[in-house]
C-alpha cells in the first residue's frame, strides 16, 4: 500500500498543475534515466521443473513465440539441456530463400525479464528478454503472459542447472538502481556518493506499490546512507531477516516549479515506507 509523504510544506507550489499552464514544455535532459513506455514486470521465474521438463516446455512453445524484430514463425527449433537454437525463413524478390536465427547458451544467461508492449500493433504483446553475457539479448514476443512466463521459467531452470552467472531483480524491492553520475549529483545538489538513482521500476513490484518512480534518488534506508544498489538490497534483506514488516526509505524526487513561462528543476525530499512481505504472506 502506498505510504509516501513529501517533507516540505510548500509542495503544492512546486509541482505541476498551475491554473495557467506555462507556454513551454519542461526542458529535456539526457543525464537522467529514460522513462520507457514498454512495461517490465517483476517475475522470479521460480519453478520446480526438472531439466527435462524445462526442455519439453520450450519445445512445446515453438509455435507460440517469434523473434522481436523478425516477427516470423519459428521453422526450426532445437533445444537441449545446454541451449536453444532457433531459425526462421522467408523469401525475398520472389525466389530468394533467406533465414536467420538466435542461440541461447544456458550457461551464459545473466537475467530474464518479462515484458509487455501495450502500445504495439503486434498481436504478440508479451515478451521475454533473455540477457546473455557479452552479446545482445534475445528478445522474443509471445501471444499471452502465460506463454512468456513458461518460457522464462524454463530458461531459468536450465540456466541454474548450468551454473550461469544469473543476476535477477531483488524481489522484495523490484526496481533497477545505479550509482549517481557526477552530473546527476551536481543537478540534485548532493555528493556523488550520497545515494543511488532508480533507473526503472518493475510493474507489480513492492517498489511500484510503494510509490517509487524512475529518476528518484534514494539517499538512505532506515537512516543509513546508501552509496550502492547492493547496499540498498542488503538493508532490505537484513530487515526481512530480522522480522521487520516495513522499512523507511528517504530520498529526492526530481520535479519542477514554474517561474512565469519557464520550468525550474527542483528536487523534493521524499520518504517511503516499504512493506516487507514475510514468508507465508504475512507482512
String of DSSP letters for 46-109: -----HHHHHHHHHHTGGG-EETTT--B--EEEEETTEEEEEEEEEETTTEEEEEEEEEEGGGE
* 3-state SS assignment for residue 31: coil
* pLDDT beyond 90 at 27: no
Percent of the chain clearing pLDDT 90 (strictly above): 78
Query: How many CB atoms neighbour CB 132 within 10 A?
Result: 20
* pLDDT tens digits along 96-133: 999 999 999 999 999 999 999 988 888 999 999 999 99
Residue 247: pLDDT band with limits 50, 70, 90:
very high
Residue 37, pLDDT above cutoff 80 = no
CATH 2.30.42.10 at 5-11+170-281, yes or no: yes
Query: What class has domain 43-161?
Result: mainly beta
Residue boundaries of the structural domains of the chain: 5-11+170-281, 43-161
User: Cell 507556454 belongs to which residue?
Assistant: 23
Does 17 score more than 90 pLDDT?
A: no
**For residue 265, what is the enclosing H or E element?**
strand 262-275
Q: Which of 8-12, 114-118, 176-180, 259-263 has the lowest mean pLDDT?
A: 8-12
* Average pLDDT score over residue span 172-182: 95
Residue 254 in this model has a pLDDT that exceeds 90: yes
Average pLDDT over residues 149-167: 98
Q: pLDDT digits over 42-96, tens only?
A: 999 999 999 999 999 999 999 999 999 999 999 999 999 999 999 999 998 888 9
Please tell me the pTM assigned to this model. 0.83
Cα gap 172→169, rounded to integer Å:
9
Confidence category of residue 24, pLDDT binned at 50, 70, 90 = low
Residues 6+ apart with CB under 8 A from 86: 67, 74, 76, 77, 78, 101, 102, 103
Amino acid at each position: 500500500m502506498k505510504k509516501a509523504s513529501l517533507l516540505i510544506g510548500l509542495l503544492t507550489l512546486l509541482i505541476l498543475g498551475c491554473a495557467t499552464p506555462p507556454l513551454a514544455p519542461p526542458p529535456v535532459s539526457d543525464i537522467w534515466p529514460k522513462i520507457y513506455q514498454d512495461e517490465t514486470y517483476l517475475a522470479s521465474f521460480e519453478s520446480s521443473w526438472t531439466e527435462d521438463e524445462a526442455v519439453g516446455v520450450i519445445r512445446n512453445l515453438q509455435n507460440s513465440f517469434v523473434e522481436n524484430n523478425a516477427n516470423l514463425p519459428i521453422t526450426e527449433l532445437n533445444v537441449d539441456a545446454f541451449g536453444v537454437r532457433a531459425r526462421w525463413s522467408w523469401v525475398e524478390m520472389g525466389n530468394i530463400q533467406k533465414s536467420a536465427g538466435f542461440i541461447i547458451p544456458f550457461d551464459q544467461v545473466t537475467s530474464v525479464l518479462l515484458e509487455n508492449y501495450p502500445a504495439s500493433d503486434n498481436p504478440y504483446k508479451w515478451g521475454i528478454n533473455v540477457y546473455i553475457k557479452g552479446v545482445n539479448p534475445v528478445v522474443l514476443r509471445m501471444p499471452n503472459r502465460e506463454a512468456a512466463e513458461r518460457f522464462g521459467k524454463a530458461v531459468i531452470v536450465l540456466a541454474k542447472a548450468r551454473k550461469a552467472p544469473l543476476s535477477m531483480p531483488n524481489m522484495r524491492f523490484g526496481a533497477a538502481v545505479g550509482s549517481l553520475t557526477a552530473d546527476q549529483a551536481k543537478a540534485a545538489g548532493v555528493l556523488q556518493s550520497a545515494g543511488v538513482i532508480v533507473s526503472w521500476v518493475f510493474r507489480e513490484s513492492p517498489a511500484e506499490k510503494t510509490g517509487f518512480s524512475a529518476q528518484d534518488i534514494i539517499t538512505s534506508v532506515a537512516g543509513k546512507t546508501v552509496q550502492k544498489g547492493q547496499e540498498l538490497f542488503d538493508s532490505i534483506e537484513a530487515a526481512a531477516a530480522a522480522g521487520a514488516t516495513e522499512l523507511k526509505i528517504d530520498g529526492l524526487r526530481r520535479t519542477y516549479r514554474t517561474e512565469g513561462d519557464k520550468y525550474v528543476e527542483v528536487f523534493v525530499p521524499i520518504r517511503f515506507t516499504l512493506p516487507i512481505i514475510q514468508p507465508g504472506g504475512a507482512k
